[in-house]
Structure formats: structure tokens, C-alpha cells
């Protein structure tokens, strides 16, 4: 099958569930070639933003919160390589994002992540990943960092209600950094995911959930402000409920299978807390899983940056760039053992997965194509 | 007395031997060859003490002519005294007993050696610990873990999605032993059998011992030795790097004399749990929390000076006086963590040198408490991006100078390491075995100061000065 035939095929795939009488929104997605982090990443990202019509109008005089993808302990490396060239977003791209947000007039730029099993300063995790925190701080005025695994620098949590008909939880309690913001950016990595098939700008938001409430050792009644675990028991497998301070599951009798639960939780989270700008780091990455703990992963160099103003559209394009049909159903790669997060988000009305409706700017998908399944 | 006797022996050696180094300065290697031409490999290396399984008089003489000490290796077996006498007749400098001899047999070897140095490389449990008073300048063991990142049977690195990699190391054992006595410590373990040992793994073994003040008795696997004998270019390059690393540590004898530093003290019996690798000291080392081992036998108020936290691994083993020392420590504001009720520090059984699974799980309870107690506190220095490394913080007697040793156990260089330290240190200098000597820019951090290191290959040292 040629690239063009493949694109024609995936564009013809049916929608899982279009909202009756209402087409999910579409927005432009931009792709740029960036062969390595040694290139001028800032210039490449600036070009991507320009192709989207610029970000000044989006961020000028605004507080911008950027959710990073730093999954897993920074101590776990794939073949000893820095996490930024495998499964974390690369610090150069993070710095470029800060610089360009600052140049576009952002008043405050707050980088957030709920890193593995700690509520300590996010800066410590960055340092442990080999990032130069001082450089990031100096990339723009008003740069801050917040670990959102617990309540952190603020008091209490903000509740984000899922609009419409939630899949899993009626609302999610998150660190207030997600509320105290005007613009929310998901800065993700172009990767497969062991549970969800792909992890892009949507799945990146799974990490907004605080382990203090949704972690394995979350408090029963109140959040545990010193969490030391992941979220397997509560979110992945539903073996226990979150702290009682947060709303419990809507359907405790539903499937406990992670491939059912996690995509729905992700779709709920993004519906409850919209992403305004999605950026996907596909310069260097891994295929076969989301981190070094997944057996069979391998290093890949797709050499692309992808960004868009709608996360479902952006992830649909990114999934296509990875060589998959973004509208594939469960049982088909990359969603072999899970439901398709993109379709679930589409059904929430967040955005379309229909490539035919999308305005892909810059590098065409067929030229950016880098098959993750060999 | 024994030390005096050794000094006398060395003093009366023929002029040819006059340049021979003192035992404390011996840089040992198990030498697999017995032809004099092989000694050319020593050119440019600091190796000055060869352990010989086969003693050939001409070789011994050629070695002596180069100022190189020779020790005949005597393994357990029949007539060890006779073997010692034959070796001495070949004019070796001394004897290295490699293994556990029956009770009293070591004495017969000493007698046969006629006052020449006899180094005992025993099992850990039979080492003459705390023996500096007995005048033994070198103690050693043939038992050691092969340092490196632990790998599961299927080849995967031993790590969870969440945790750090585990590094097999002898450093905890070395630190426990050296805290109890000031004898020079030799780690005489050999490379694992049926395993390809890369040049990097040899470097790690050298550095693993050296950062805690011991010396690894260099031992080559058969394949490496054969390639080295053929002077293969890549092997020669590895050999040169090994020599450079040995020289790096030998050029800084002051490091070996510095004290282990850390505001966290572990009170443990070096003759019990301290003999095991993978114990509490190694667990803390993997987390890069500076810690000092305080032998239970040396527990005094002075030994805890400067510490703000202490862990008493085996509370029941303490004397009433020692318990009072710890009570006073807590009255003075120190935090004390004691092992769970009924918990006893394990003594190694048989050939055991690592903890078994049950002991490891029990120790994990203490470890979690230690981790929680320490938190993000700076116990002397905090290191970032060092998951494939081990470190050791040492300080001079006056506290004005400290050094942080880093050893990288991965097969890849580590880039962008950050070091945060207390405000009293104003200057920082990086040195590496590759010859780098570089003043580092000190920037302010919440703990005081910090420096960044661009790249660590196998080993690096940061010198901090007030």
C-alpha cells in the first residue's frame, strides 16, 4: 500500500459515534520537519506556530499552563540515554516553548507535571532528568514550575466537572494550577502506549490527576499530600476509589480493564479541562510503549514537530504520522487491546478525528509518515 | 609488632629492592603471566605489586629490578607451608593467602615466610576487622560482588517503572570495614566466569573500590588477558584507561585519608550486617544520601559529631553506655531511627555476601523509614541525574575541603549532572581521570550552592572548598 492509498483508506473509515446533529470541531494542525534536537528547535517551533496563525492572540497577557510529559521515574533510562531523547519531552523543546510563549506576550508560564511517586518540587525531577532548570527559568519572564501530584503551592484542589455525559467520573479534583490559568497547553511526546495504543496530547493529560487523590496510596478520606505511588489501583484498574474528598466513579460495576478505563478517563479529563494548544515532540522518541519499563520498545527518530489548536485533531494527525488509522477501532493497531481515546474524545464533542476535515499545514502527512509498527 | 617486623624486613632487603614501595602503597594485580617480557605492560601504570600463582625466579628477579613487589599466591590445599617456603626461596616479596585456610594454617605460612609480608585474602566473615591495632597493614577478601547495574536473568535491567536501577556494589561493605579500622583494604574478587567483561566494567570495578578508599586487586578474565598478551589495539586502549584510572586515585592519597562525611549516621556492626553487600548502606548509597558508617564498637558522642540523623540498625546489640550515647544524641536534637522491634542485624551465613530475599524485605522497612526521615534534606550534598551512578562524599579533618566522587556504572556517558551543597563551600573544581581539571561556576541554590557537570564518563570528582 502506498502512502497515498493508506491515507485514502484511513480517511474513509467511519466515525465511532458522531454527536447527533453536531459535528465535532476541526482546527488546523501544523507539521514541521526537525531532524534532531541539535537543529534550531526554537525556529522550527516558531514556524509551526506561524502556520497555525500565530499564538500571540492566544497567550498575550495570559497565564499559560504547560503540561509536560515526564512519565516514569527519571532514573529509568532506555539504554542509558537521556529521557528527553526517548520518552520525556525534550528540554530544548520545553525551553523553546517557554521562549516563544514569552515572546508572544504570555504574562506567566507555568510548567506542570505530576511526576512519578513524589510531591517534591518539579525542579528536582527536572534536574534528575538532566534538565537545566536555570536555563528554562531564563527562557522567558514569569516561568514557574509546579508539581501537580498534590495540592502543592496552593491550598486545596479545584474541581473540574465533566460536561455532558461523563464516561467514568463526574468530575476530577486537580491541583489549582489547572484552574488558575487562562491557556492550557499539552506538550506531549509522539509515542505508543502499552495501555492506550498511543500517548499524545490527550493522553498526556492523564498525568494531571494528583496521586494524592488518585494514587495507590491516596488517603481514604482526604488526599495524601505525600504520595509515593502511581495510579494503578484507582484509575487503571479501579480496585479502589479515590479519596472520598473527590467524586467517586459513576459506574463502579463497569469494566475494570485498563484498556477500557484509561481512554475514557482521558477523554473525560480533556472534556473537563480543555486543551487550547497541543504540541507533540516527534523529533526523537520510542516506539512500542511509553517508557523503558515496557518490554520491546525501540528508539525512533520521526524527525517531526506537530502542533494544533484542537487536541483531537492534532492527535489524529499525529496518529496518522505514526502510520496508524486515527479512527481505528479496538482490536486494530495501535488500539489492539484498548478503546480508541481519540474517538472517545470525539464523541465528547472535543474535536474531529476526520482527517478529511482537517487543514494540515506545513509538511504533508504523507511526507511526515514514520511507521511505528514495523 | 608485626608492622615493625615488616618494616625491618623491608629495610634489610638488598639494594635492588630499595625502591620497593611500602605495603600501604602497593597497587596490586593478579598477574597471569610469568615471562619477564610481560612486565613491559606495567610501563606507565601505577601497578607495583603482582600476585603470582606460578612463581618463576627469573620473573621475580625481573620484577624486583623494576621495583615491583611480588606476592606468591597460596590457595588452600596440601602443604601450604611448603609452598610458602618454596616461594620465598624464589625471592618473592611475600605471600598472599587466597582463600580460607584451616584453623592455624595461616600461622604456619607466616612462619614459613620468615617475617616477610603475608596478606590474607579471606572470606569476609574471616577478615581481621578493626585490626589496625594488631598491626596488619593490609586486610583483604576474595569475596565481592561484581560491580555494575544489576541485570535480571532475561537481560533486562533490574528496575521497576517507578524505581531507580539497582547497582551491585562493594562500597557499603568497604565503608563499613574501613570505618572500623585503618588497615588498607583489598578487594580481591575476580571477574564473573563465562561473562564478557568489557573495558568499562573493569573501570567500574576499580572505581567502585577506590571511591571508598579500598583497592581492587586487578584481575583479568582469560579472554582479556589473552588479547592483552597479543597487544591487540582495542585491548591496549582499555588497558591504558585502566592504568589511567588507577593512577588517578593513586595520585590523590589524600582522598584515602579523608573521612566519610554525611549528616546521616548508620550505627551498625561491621562484623554482622556490615559484611553483606546490598544492605542498608548500599540502599542509601543508591539514593545518593551522604551517610557515614559508625561501627557499633566505636559508638561515642564524638563519632556522631555533626550528624543530625542516625539509624540504629540493631538496637538490642548496644551496651547500656552506647544506648546512652544515642539518648544524648536525641536530647541534643538529633533524629534517631531504630530498627523494628525484634529486628536483628544479620550475620552472613556460609559463603553469603548479599542479603537473601527475606532479609531484604525486612530491611526495606528500615529503608522506607530512612527515606521518609531524610526527605529532601541536604545531608551534605544533593546530586541530580545520577541514577546510574554511585557517589561518596568525603571531608578533610578540618572540614574545609570535601570531595564528591562519582562513578558511572552504565555503558553510556552521563550528561548534565547537578550537585547542590551547603553554603559554606565557595569554590568547586572538577577533576577526571581523563585529565580534566576545571574550576566550576558555583550558582546559588536553596541549599547554598550548586554546580553543573557536563559529562561523566566513568568517574569524576568534585572538590569543594570553603
Confidence band (pLDDT; 50, 70, 90) for B274?
Answer: confident
User: Nearest CB to A76: which of B161, B411, B452?
Assistant: B161
- Where are chain B's structural domains? 2-251, 262-374, 382-465
**Is pLDDT of B95 > 80?**
yes
Q: Are B337 and B259 in contact (CB under 8 A)?
A: no
Using one digit for the tens of pLDDT, what is the confidence trace for B322-349? 999 999 999 999 999 987 777 777 777 7
pLDDT at B8 over 60: no
Tell me the CATH number of domain B2-251, given options 1.10.287.3510, 3.40.190.10, 3.40.50.11260, 3.20.20.70.
3.20.20.70
CB count, 10 Å around CB of B444? 10
Nearest CA in chain B to A134: B443
pLDDT value of position B161? 40
Residue B357 has phi, psi (to 5 degrees) of -60, -45
Per-residue model confidence (pLDDT) at position B13? 46
Q: Is the pLDDT of residue A13 over 70?
A: no
Residue of B nearest to A73 (CA): B162
Q: Residue B438's CB: how many other CB atoms inside 10 A?
A: 11
Q: What confidence category does residue A123 fall into, taking pLDDT thresholds of 50, 70 and 90?
A: very high
Residues of A in contact with B160 (CB under 8 A): 76, 293
pLDDT band at A266; cut points 50, 70, 90: very high
Provide the b/e sequence for B10-49 (b: ≥16 CB within 10 Å): beeeeeebeebeebeebbbbbbbbeebebbebbeebbbbb
- Residue B158: pLDDT above 70? no
HEC string for chain B: CHHHHHHHHHHCCCHHHCCCCCHHHCCEEEECCCCHHHHHHHCCCCCCEEEECCCCHHHHHHHHHCCCEEEEEECCCCCHHHHHHHHHHCCCCEEEEECCCCCCHHHHHHHHHCCCCEEEEECHHHCCCCHHHHCCCEEEECCCCCCEECECCCCCECCCCCCCCCEECCHHHHHHHHHHCCCEEEECCCCCCCCCCCHHHHHHHHHHHHCCCCEECECCCHHHHHHHHCCCHHHHHHHHHHHHHHHHHHCCHHHHHCEECCCEEEEECCCCHHHCECCHHHHHHHCCCCEEEEEHHHCCCHHHCCCCEEEECCHHHCCHHHHHHHHHHHHCCCEEEECCCCCCCCCCCCCCCECCHHHHHHHHHHHHHHHHHHCCCCCCCEEECCCCEEEEEEECCCCCEEEEEEEECCCCCEEEEEEEEECCCCEEEEECCCCCEEEECCEEECCEEEEEEEEECCEEEEEEEC
Interatomic CA distance for residues B414 and B387, integer angstroms: 9
Q: What is the pLDDT of residue B11?
A: 43
Check if B9 contacts A (Cβ < 8 Å): no
Mean pLDDT value of segment A103-113: 98
CATH superfamily, domain B262-374, is Flavodoxin domain (3.40.50.360)
With a cut of 80, say whether residue B56 has pLDDT above it. Answer: yes
Whether B316 and chain A come into contact, CB under 8 Å, resolves to no
Q: Which residues of B touch A117 (CB under 8 A)?
A: 162
Q: What is the pLDDT of residue B270?
A: 81
In terms of CA atoms, which chain B residue is nearest residue A128? Answer: B385
For residue A300, report the phi and psi dihedrals to the nearest 5 degrees: -135, 155
Of A82, A117, A131, the CB nearest to B162: A117
Does B163 contact A76 at a Cβ distance shorter than 8 Å? yes
The model's pLDDT over B292-313, given as tens digits with 9 standing for 90+, comes to: 999 988 899 999 999 999 999 8
Q: Which of A87, A128, A199, A286 should one mutate to test binding to chain B, selecting the residue with the greatest count of B CBs within 10 A?
A: A128
Q: Average the pLDDT over each of A8-22, A136-150, B428-442 and give the range with the smallest value.
A: A8-22
Chain A residues at the B interface, defined by Cβ less than 8 Å, are: 72-77, 79-82, 116-117, 120-121, 124, 127-132, 134, 229-230, 291, 293, 295
Asked if pLDDT for residue B246 goes beyond 60, the answer is: yes
Shortest CB distance from A76 goes to which of B159, B385, B411?
Answer: B159
Average pLDDT over residues A62-73: 97
Among A72, A77, A80, beta carbon nearest to B161: A72
Name the band, by pLDDT with cuts 50, 70 and 90, for residue B15: very low
Does the ipTM surpass 0.90?
no
CA–CA separation, B116 and B95 (whole Å): 8
Cβ proximity of B354 and B278 under 8 Å = yes
d(CA B283, CA A322): 41
Q: Which residues does chain B have within 8 Å of residue A72's beta carbon, measured at their own beta carbons?
A: 161-162
Interchain contact B415–A (C-beta under 8 A): yes
Closest CA to B372 of A120, A218, A129: A120
A272 beta partners: none
The pLDDT value given to residue B356: 78
Helix (H) or strand (E) holding A361: strand A360-362
Do the Cβ atoms of B163 and A81 come within 8 Å?
Answer: no
Q: What is the mean pLDDT of residues A36-60?
A: 98
Cross-chain Cβ contact A132/B416 below 8 Å: yes
Cα–Cα distance between A116 and A231 in angstroms, integer?
9
Does the pLDDT of residue B225 top 90, yes or no?
yes
Q: Report yes or no: B164 at the A interface, CB cutoff 8 Å.
A: yes
Confidence label for B160 from pLDDT (cuts 50, 70 and 90) = very low
- Asked whether residue A7 carries a pLDDT value surpassing 70, the answer given is no
pLDDT of B42 over the 60 cut: yes
**How many contacts (CB atoms, under 8 Å) link A and B?**
69
pLDDT (0 to 100) of residue A136: 97
Instruction: Classify each residue of A128-163 as buried b or exposed e, where b means 16 or more C-beta atoms within 10 Å of its C-beta.
Output: bbbbbbbebbebbeebebbbbbbbbeeeebbebebe
Query: Could you tell me how many residues make up chain B?
Result: 466
Burial class (CB in 10 A: 0-12, 13-18, 19+), A192: buried
CB-CB under 8 Å, A116 with B388: no
pLDDT for res A5: 59
pLDDT at position B152 is 56
**Residue whose cell numbers read 536555563:** A135
Average pLDDT taken over every residue of chain A: 94
What pLDDT digit, counting tens, does each position of A333-371 carry? Answer: 999 999 999 999 999 999 999 999 999 999 999 999 999
Say which of A79, A81, A129 has its CB closest to residue B385: A129
Residue B239: strand pairing partners: none
> Strands, DSSP E only, in A309-355?
none
Q: Would you call B153 an interface residue with chain A, using a CB distance cutoff of 8 Å?
A: no
Residue A180's CB is within 10 A of a number of other CB atoms, namely 14
Closest CA to B219 of B197, B250, B235, B248: B197
Instruction: Give the pLDDT confidence score for residue B195 in this predicted structure.
Output: 82
CATH topology of domain B382-465: Immunoglobulin-like (2.60.40)
Looking at residue B132, its pLDDT comes to 56
Cβ of residue B441 closer than 8 Å to a chain A Cβ = no
- Report the share of chain B in percent with pLDDT over 90: 69
Shortest Cα distance, chain A CAs vs residue B384, angstroms: 4
The number of residues in chain A equals 374
Quote the pLDDT of residue B71.
98
Q: For residue A82, is pLDDT > 70? A: yes
Minimal-distance CA residue of chain B relative to A231: B162
The pLDDT value given to residue B166 = 86
Which H or E run includes A319? helix A311-321
In chain B, the residue whose alpha carbon lies closest to the alpha carbon of A226 is B372
Q: Which residue has the cell 606468591?
A: B72
Q: Which residue of A has its CA nearest to B419?
A: A127
- Helical (H) or strand (E) element with A138: helix A133-138
Nearest CA in chain B to A121: B376
Residue B462 has pLDDT above 80, yes or no: yes
Nearest chain B residue (CA) to A290: B161
Amino acid at each position: 500500500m502506498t502512502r497515498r492509498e493508506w491515507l485514502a483508506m484511513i480517511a474513509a473509515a467511519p466515525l465511532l459515534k458522531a454527536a447527533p446533529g453536531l459535528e465535532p470541531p476541526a482546527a488546523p494542525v501544523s507539521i514541521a520537519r526537525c531532524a534532531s534536537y541539535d537543529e534550531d528547535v526554537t525556529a522550527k517551533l516558531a514556524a509551526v506556530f506561524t502556520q497555525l496563525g500565530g499564538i500571540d492572540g492566544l497567550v498575550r497577557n495570559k497565564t499559560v499552563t504547560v503540561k509536560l510529559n515526564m512519565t516514569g521515574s527519571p532514573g529509568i533510562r532506555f539504554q542509558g540515554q537521556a529521557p528527553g531523547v526517548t520518552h520525556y519531552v525534550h528540554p530544548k523543546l520545553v525551553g523553546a516553548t517557554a521562549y516563544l510563549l514569552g515572546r508572544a506576550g504570555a504574562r506567566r508560564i507555568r510548567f506542570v507535571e505530576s511526576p512519578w511517586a513524589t510531591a517534591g518540587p518539579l525542579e528536582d525531577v527536572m534536574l534528575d532528568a538532566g534538565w537545566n532548570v536555570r536555563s528554562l527559568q531564563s527562557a522567558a519572564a514569569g516561568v514557574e514550575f509546579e508539581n501537580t501530584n498534590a495540592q502543592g503551592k496552593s491550598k486545596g484542589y479545584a474541581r473540574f466537572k465533566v460536561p455532558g455525559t461523563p464516561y467514568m467520573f463526574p468530575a476530577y479534583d486537580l491541583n489549582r494550577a489547572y484552574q488558575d490559568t487562562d491557556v492550557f497547553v499539552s506538550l506531549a511526546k509522539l509515542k505508543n502506549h502499552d495501555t492506550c495504543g498511543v500517548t499524545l496530547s490527550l493522553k498526556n493529560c492523564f498525568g494531571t490527576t494528583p496521586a494524592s487523590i488518585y494514587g495507590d496510596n491516596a488517603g481514604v478520606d482526604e488526599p495524601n499530600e505525600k504520595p509515593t505511588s502511581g495510579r494503578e489501583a484507582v484509575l487503571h484498574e479501579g480496585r479502589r476509589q479515590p479519596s472520598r474528598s473527590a467524586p467517586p466513579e459513576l459506574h463502579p460495576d463497569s469494566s475494570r480493564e485498563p484498556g477500557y478505563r484509561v481512554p475514557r478517563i482521558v477523554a473525560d479529563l480533556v472534556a473537563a479541562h480543555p486543551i487550547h494548544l497541543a504540541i507533540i515532540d516527534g523529533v526523537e522518541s520510542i516506539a512500542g510503549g511509553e517508557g523503558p519499563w515496557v518490554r520491546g520498545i525501540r528508539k525512533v527518530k520521526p524527525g517531526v514537530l506537530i502542533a494544533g489548536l484542537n487536541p483531537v485533531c492534532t492527535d489524529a494527525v499525529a496518529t496518522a504520522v505514526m502510520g496508524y488509522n486515527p479512527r481505528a477501532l479496538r482490536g486494530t493497531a495501535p488500539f489492539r487491546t484498548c478503546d480508541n481515546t481519540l474517538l472517545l474524545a470525539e464523541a465528547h464533542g472535543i474535536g474531529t478525528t476526520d482527517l478529511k476535515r482537517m487543514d494540515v499545514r506545513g509538511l504533508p502527512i504523507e511526507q511526515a509518515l514514520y511507521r511505528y509498527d514495523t | 609488632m608485626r608492622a615493625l617486623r615488616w618494616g625491618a624486613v623491608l629495610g634489610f632487603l638488598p639494594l635492588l629492592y630499595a625502591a620497593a614501595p611500602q605495603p600501604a602503597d602497593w597497587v596490586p594485580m593478579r598477574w597471569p603471566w610469568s615471562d619477564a617480557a610481560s612486565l613491559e605492560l606495567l610501563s606507565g601504570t601505577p601497578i607495583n605489586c603482582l600476585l603470582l600463582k606460578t612463581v618463576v625466579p627469573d620473573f621475580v628477579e625481573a620484577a624486583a629490578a623494576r621495583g615491583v613487589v611480588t606476592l606468591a599466591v597460596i590457595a588452600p590445599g596440601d602443604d601450604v607451608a611448603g609452598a610458602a617456603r618454596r616461594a620465598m626461596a624464589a625471592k618473592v616479596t611475600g605471600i598472599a593467602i587466597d582463600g580460607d585456610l584451616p584453623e592455624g594454617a595461616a600461622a604456619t605460612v607466616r612462619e614459613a615466610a620468615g617475617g616477610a609480608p603475608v596478606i590474607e585474602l579471606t572470606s569476609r566473615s574471616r577478615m581481621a576487622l578493626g585490626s589496625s591495632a594488631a598491626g596488619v597493614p593490609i586486610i583483604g577478601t576474595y569475596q565481592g560482588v561484581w560491580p555494575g547495574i544489576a541485570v535480571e536473568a532475561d537481560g533486562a535491567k533490574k528496575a521497576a517503572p517507578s524505581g531507580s536501577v539497582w547497582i551491585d556494589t562493594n562500597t557499603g561493605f568497604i565503608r563499613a570495614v574501613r570505618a572500623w579500622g585503618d588497615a588498607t583494604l583489598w578487594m580481591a574478587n575476580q571477574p564473573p566466569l563465562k561473562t564478557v567483561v568489557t573495558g568499562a566494567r573493569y573501570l567500574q570495578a576499580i572505581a567502585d573500590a577506590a571511591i571508598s578508599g579500598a583497592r581492587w586487586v586487578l584481575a583479568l578474565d582469560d579472554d582479556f588477558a589473552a588479547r592483552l598478551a597479543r597487544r591487540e589495539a582495542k585491548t591496549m586502549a582499555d588497558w591504558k584507561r585502566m592504568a589511567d584510572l588507577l593512577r588517578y586515585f593513586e595520585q590523590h592519597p589524600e582522598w584515602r585519608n579523608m573521612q566519610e562525611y554525611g549528616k546521616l549516621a548508620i550505627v551498625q556492626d561491621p562484623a554482622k550486617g556490615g559484611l553483606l553487600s546490598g544492605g542498608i548502606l548500599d540502599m542509601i548509597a543508591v539514593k545518593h544520601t551522604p551517610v557515614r558508617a559508625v561501627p557499633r564498637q566505636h559508638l561515642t558522642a564524638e563519632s556522631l559529631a555533626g550528624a543530625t540523623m542516625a539509624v540504629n540498625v540493631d538496637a538490642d546489640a548496644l551496651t547500656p553506655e552506647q544506648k546512652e550515647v544515642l539518648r544524648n544524641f536525641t536530647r541534643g536534637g538529633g533524629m534517631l531511627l531504630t530498627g523494628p522491634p525484634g529486628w536483628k542485624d544479620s550475620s552472613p551465613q556460609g559463603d553469603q555476601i548479599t542479603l537473601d530475599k527475606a532479609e531484604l524485605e525486612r530491611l526495606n522497612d528500615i529503608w522506607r523509614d530512612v527515606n521518609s526521615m531524610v526527605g529532601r534534606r541536604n545531608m551534605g550534598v544533593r546530586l541530580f541525574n545520577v541514577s546510574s551512578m554511585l557517589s561518596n562524599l568525603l571531608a578533610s579533618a578540618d572540614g574545609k575541603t570535601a570531595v564528591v566522587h562519582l562513578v558511572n556504572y552504565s555503558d553510556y556517558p552521563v550528561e548534565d549532572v547537578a550537585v547542590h551543597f551547603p553554603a559554606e563551600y565557595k569554590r568547586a573544581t572538577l577533576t577526571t581521570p581523563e585529565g580534566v581539571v576545571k574550576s566550576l561556576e558555583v550558582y546559588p541554590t536553596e541549599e547554598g550552592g550548586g554546580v553543573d557537570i557536563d559529562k561523566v564518563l566513568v568517574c569524576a570528582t568534585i572538590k569543594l572548598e570553603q
